[in-house]
Chain A
Amino acid sequence: MLSRVADNLFWLGRYAERAENTARLVDVTLRLATLPAERGHDGEGGVWHSAIVSAGCEDSYFAVHSDVTPEPAIHHLVFDRENPSSIVACIDFARRNGRAVRTALTQATWEALNTLWLEFDRRAVQAQANDDLAELLDWVQYSAAAVRGATAGTMLRSDAYWFLQLGHFMERGDNTARILDVKYHVLLPDHAPVGSAVDYFQWSALLRALSAARTYAYVYREPVRPRNVAELVILRPEMPRSLAASLSQVDRYLMAIASDYDTGKNPALDLARARYARIRDLGVEDVFAYGMHEFLTNFIEENVEQSNAIAETYLR
């Protein structure tokens, strides 16, 4: 496969995943902002400030705004084409990457992606007119899922599919780590007071941002405890948006590519193998001992390294 084609597929995966995750993040933030404790709490430490940081949009946001208030924050995260991480920009980039490699995609995948792109602007106008952002965000998540579903259901399991998946899971790991890092203090075991309403909503918002609220109840069958939340979203490989799951999938698809190609020295695979092996052996206490914030920062930095290694090995 042409390196350029693999590169387009990888970034198609990354941008489609980011659009979906940002939609989920904004959705949760809207919900959180309705809590009594959050009213009039827009600035540093407020819910929209956290959302901006979680989405990795601090630099782009503060380049044009001096403080965080809901309206500009929403505009920046959802509608602003000047912000390369906004939902609309991610959809544009995903579609552009897809269009460049149309023949590497199945008809169903292309049509799902093209529909997401064709419809977004119309629905955005509608959402702003009806003041119903939540519906737009629902639709983005639903349509991004349709793209993933078309991919899973129709694409041949070969390098095109693997590079696309690699993009999805690289991005997902990064997005989950960023969401956690902003809220890491509420996950620490010495965080007190336990059981306050505010904490409860913080945790449940975090779980919702990762589509894991029901999962938590199913896996733990007990009230939300920070230790369990941390374990679920960092270490449980069966939780599809956890860091461990992302590392396991990155490892899996790099393995598939490497065994298909048989191209010798492979720094991308070596790093992925090492990272996955490391996280598999960790318990949640190890993460606390290492320092949650340090652990997450380290994960994000290693992810950048991983992405560069993939580019170096296959995409240039």
Chain B
Amino acid sequence: MDEAVPPAAFFNEMYAPDGGISPSYRGVAAWLERTPSELVELKRREAEFLFRRIGITFAVYSAGADPERIIPFDIVPRVIAANEWAVLERGLEQRVRALNAFLHDIYHSREILRAGVIPEAQVLQHPAYVREMAGLVLPHRAYTTIAGIDIVRTGPEEFYVLEDNLRTPSGVSYMLENREMMMRLFPDLCARHRIRPVDHYPDALLATLRSLAPRACDDEPTVALLTPGLYNSAYFEHSYLADRMGVELVEGADLFVEGDEVFMRTTEGPRRVDVLYRRIDDPFLDPEVFREDSMLGVPGLMRAYRAGKVNLANAIGTGVADDKATYIHVPKMIDFYLGEKPILNNVPTWDCSEPESHAHVRERLQELVVKEVHGSGGYGMLVGPTATAEERAAFAERLDAAPQNYIAQPTLALSAAPTFVESGVAPRHLDLRPFVLTGEQVTIVAGGLTRVALREGSLVVNSSQGGGTKDTWVLADTHG
């Protein structure tokens, strides 16, 4: 069936509460007004051609699909006013500080568990909890060095955190390339706004990674980016970031461990590596400790890591903090570790492991979004309002069989922004993934990846489900 429009009313970011054009969108609105749609269509095609020629592609794991697909790029920028960003920035830093404190705590004295704030079993028996991390002291206690926090908006002041991505979040190359593309296609429009730059992200990332050099490293630290290789869906991003940082892009087979130190094989002989920005998941990192059959990892890496001879970003074992079941507790973490009130709120969430919540969710399946706690990518979920009765019945069976595997949230009336579609310019729902860097200090580049659901009424923005991206403009002042 085709997608219905779930919430009748939603917040359109282009408009102010009084119904007029929001100050931050004035420039874009005027530009849309005076630009003929043929020209816009021409520019859109030019963008697609450029993306394909440069090779900004994203692999999608499904049979018969174009193996080197590009994510649709929408040429209408998404604008965030300076005052809006100021709130987001403080909220993001606060949240990521609390998450890092939580990760340090659960691998050391476990105070939050002993205080009974979060159930012990939920953390210690979590599949992503890595025992080998216990007691390991990391430089600056940075666990999730690169965090991608998914934000949704429902009103002028209402921002919610939908999800924390604390393992190996991707998408930052789109933040950078989308800006490049806008500057190339619409230099005048860009010049008429004071847009905060994003181009220094690779420098900020490199500085962050260097600040995390292990104590044993007393000279200039060598950073490398560890990729699963060519066939990974985010390979383009890996090679792009390595290139922009000027560091080697290595695969597992390029590295070896000797005397608890990690070396890469180079044409000039072995060279020590101090910090690895790894884009390989925990289970594949070291066949000596984790999955024996991993061809992607480096035997002995965990040994070197534990010996403090190499540092990894992100740390091993961060997945326990970004699970949907742990997500529920993040506001409590902010209170527990920082003694602060959360600046960014969670989406109200029912934890189906609690019988009351389970019953409540079962009754209101038609209104709710139900998600699997260990799933990702929008596959193991039910969007109640758009699902058919059969789909809901089938999902209810799975839910009842293992309620502890599910959480549920209300169907949020996600904000929308003007987007170029076949019928012209129309509002489409979107979210935002800013990237938070934690090293010696916390750094947030003003911007992020805006994902947009291109189909009318759709709330699913995932690129694996047909979503597109937009350039995200954080303005240096409140007025556009």
Q: A interface vs B, CB < 8 Å?
A: 1-4, 6, 99-100, 102-103, 107, 110-111, 114, 159, 163, 257, 261, 263, 314-316
Contact, CB under 8 Å: B266 / A2: yes
B452 interface residue per 8 A CB criterion: no
The one of B239, B250, B251, B265 that contacts A316, using a Cβ cutoff of 8 Å: B265
Return chain B residues, CB-CB under 8 Å to A114. 55
Q: Is B390 in the interface zone, CB < 8 Å from A?
A: no
Q: Are A103 and B265 in contact (CB under 8 A)?
A: no
> In chain B, what residue has the closest Cβ to A115?
B53
Closest residue on chain B to residue A262 by CB atoms:
B268
Say yes or no: is B339 at the interface (Cβ < 8 Å to chain A).
no
- B210 vs chain A, min Cβ distance (A): 20
Please give the distance in Å from B256's CB to the nearest CB on chain A: 11
Residue of A at shortest CB range from B236? Answer: A102
B residues less than 8 Å from A102 (CB atoms): 55, 239
Provide a sorted-by-A list of 6 A–B residue pairs whose CB atoms are within 8 angstroms: A3-B266, A102-B55, A114-B55, A163-B267, A261-B267, A263-B268
Q: Are A103 and B268 in contact (CB under 8 A)?
A: no
Shortest CB distance A199–B (Å): 47
Chain A residues with Cβ below 8 Å from B242 are 103
Q: How far is the CA of A1 from the CA of B253 in the complex (A)?
A: 15
- Beyond the given pairs A2-B264, A2-B266, 9 more chain A to chain B contacts, judged by CB atoms under 8 angstroms and listed by A's residue number, are A1-B268, A2-B248, A4-B253, A99-B230, A103-B239, A110-B55, A111-B53, A263-B268, A316-B265
Contact residues in B for A3 (Cβ distance below 8 Å): 254, 265-267
Contact indicator B267/A6 (Cβ below 8 Å): yes
B interface SS class: mixed
Q: Bound complex: CA of A4 vs CA of B251, how far in Å?
A: 9
- Asked if A2 and B239 sit within 8 Å, CB to CB, the answer is no
Residues on A with beta carbons closer than 8 Å to the beta carbon of B268: 1, 261, 263
**Chain B 64-90 interface residues, beta-carbon cutoff 8 Å to A:** none
> Which residues on A sit within 8 Å (CB–CB) of B265?
2-4, 316
B53 touches A2 (CB 8 A): no
Complex Cα distance A3/B250, Å?
A: 10
Q: Which residues of B contact A (CB under 8 A)?
A: 53-55, 230, 239, 242-243, 248-251, 253-254, 264-269
Verify B230–A159 contact, CB threshold 8 A. no
Q: Which residues of A contact B269 (CB under 8 A)?
A: 263
Assuming the contacts A103-B239, A263-B268, asked whether A2 and B250 have C-beta atoms less than 8 A apart, the reply is: yes
B248 cross-chain contacts in A, Cβ below 8 A: 2
Residues of the A chain whose Cβ atoms lie less than 8 Å from the Cβ of B266: 1-3
User: Nearest Cβ in chain A — how far from B54, in angstroms?
Assistant: 8
Is B230 a contact of A2 with CB atoms below 8 Å? no
Measured CA separation A44–B55 after assembly (Å): 47
Bound Cα distance A114, B53 (Å): 9
| Chain A residue contacts of B54, Cβ below 8 A | 107
Q: Give the residues in chain A near B264, CB-CB below 8 Å.
A: 2
Chain A residues with Cβ below 8 Å from B239 are 102-103
Q: Nearest 6 pairs between A and B by C-beta? A: A103-B243, A3-B265, A314-B267, A6-B267, A261-B268, A1-B267
- For A96, the closest partner residue in chain B by CB is B230
Name the distance in Å between B199's Cβ and chain A's nearest Cβ. 18
**Chain B residues with CB below 8 A from A111, complex form:** 53
Contact B55 A2 (CB under 8 A): no
Name the residue on A nearest B230 (C-beta): A100
A107: chain B residues at CB < 8 Å are 54
Closest B residue to A7 using CB positions: B267
Q: Find the A residue at minimum CB distance from B255.
A: A2
Report B262 CB to chain A, min CB distance, Å: 14
Please indicate the chain B residues that have their CB under 8 angstroms from the CB of A2 in the complex. Answer: 248, 250, 254, 264-267
List the B residue with the shortest CB-CB distance to A159. B267
